[in-house]
Amino acid sequence: MPLLGWNYVGAVGLVVAAGLFRKQVIETILKLLMRALSAQRYKTANAAIREFEKRVLLPLSWVLFVVSILVAIKFVSLDDVKTLNTFVLMVLGAAVLWTVFQFCAFLNIVRSDA
């Protein structure tokens, strides 16, 4: 396989790994945080952590997934394809806006009916 072929294998591997481990990273962070807070015996912290997971970490995991797709595009030199690059950047922008809005809603900066 020529050197260029390995770039495609690496890019596909990066996207697949990011997709598979997107949820696992969140669960691992939350387990460690729950252990630390349960040692302190905070009863309301568990609810706060679950709310933080639902509102902030889930959208943030999608941001990281789209960023890994963008890195994969750069890795295989597909950044010359302007339509694909623009589409991925638009999806990234939407995911970042979603994350920022949910974080502000978590902090009660904006009002969310969800």
The rounded mean pLDDT for the chain is 77
| pLDDT tens, residue by residue, 57-83 | 888 888 888 888 888 888 787 777 788
Q: Tell me the Cα Rg of the chain.
A: 18
Instruction: Give the percent of the chain with pLDDT over 90.
Output: 2
In a domain, 113, yes or no: no
In a domain, 12, yes or no: yes
In a domain, 77, yes or no: yes
In a domain, 111, yes or no: no
pTM for the complete prediction?
A: 0.64
In a domain, 83, yes or no: yes
In a domain, 59, yes or no: yes
**Overall number of domains in the chain:** 1
In a domain, 114, yes or no: no
Q: Residue 12's closest CA among 64, 67, 72?
A: 72
Tokens of 43: 């009863």
Q: Residue 91's closest CA among 112, 108, 105, 70?
A: 70
Q: Domain range for residue 32?
A: 3-106
| CA distances for 10 relative to 4, 32, 59, angstroms | 10, 30, 25
In a domain, 23, yes or no: yes
